[in-house]
Amino acid sequence: MSLAPEHGVATKLNLGCGFDKREGWLNVDNFAACEPDRLLDLETTPWDLPSDAFEHVLLKHVLEHVGAAFPVFASVMQELYRVTAPGGIVEIHVPHIRHDSYWTDPTHVRPFTLETFQMFSKRANRDWAQSKANVSLIALMIDVDFELEHAEQTYEAEWSRKLRAGEVSPAELYEISRSRWNVAREIQVRLRAVK
């Protein structure tokens, strides 16, 4: 199995690359027309990729397309954890659940909120278990451990302008996005693999 796009062994993995192929990365997709470095169906596990090999993994508008059934989604997250190097970064972009772009695409099967990504942290799971919180302890259930290092929402142009102009604070805008449609467009998170 070759991990070398053109310039040596890739330590960066672009999962579900589509037509956004990146130089120096191993670009993987299941859509042959985009000519990825490797064809791979993420829902078919285990992946034909080495363990602990990738220091940076990018999933840009990918996770919302996989794992309509939780066992399939769990397998995808387990494989993502397996191939990420200890301390490696996983960067994820998904559409916001309250944006039309999520609901417009009939291939979107899994919604996310900012809070969803905390569920992949064993530290957070243990804290919730200790406090008897009514939360699924996914990291403990499926044996993955991703610490959420950064999370943000991107906003529609009108709301971004209001934020820059000081017409609304970041906290106010976040609260608005929790109840109004088409305010937040995308969720972007950075996870670190704890191994």
In the prediction, which pLDDT does 185 show? 98
In the prediction, which pLDDT does 10 show? 80
In the prediction, which pLDDT does 7 show? 47
Indicate yes or no: pTM above 0.85. Answer: yes
> Which among 20, 19, 77, 10 is positioned nearest to 50, based on CA atoms?
10
In the prediction, which pLDDT does 123 show? 98
In the prediction, which pLDDT does 9 show? 65
Residue ranges of the chain with per-residue pLDDT less than 70: 1-9
In the prediction, which pLDDT does 156 show? 98
The backbone region for 38, taken as left when phi is positive above 0, alpha when psi lies in -120 to 50, beta otherwise, is beta
In the prediction, which pLDDT does 3 show? 56
Q: Is CATH 3.40.1030.10 the right assignment for the domain spanning 12-157+186-193?
A: no
**Phi, psi at 145, each rounded to 5°:** -150, 100
pLDDT tens by residue, 165-188: 999 999 999 999 999 999 999 999
Q: Are 77 and 124 in contact (CB under 8 A)?
A: no
> Which among 80, 104, 97 is positioned nearest to 187, based on CA atoms?
97
In the prediction, which pLDDT does 39 show? 98
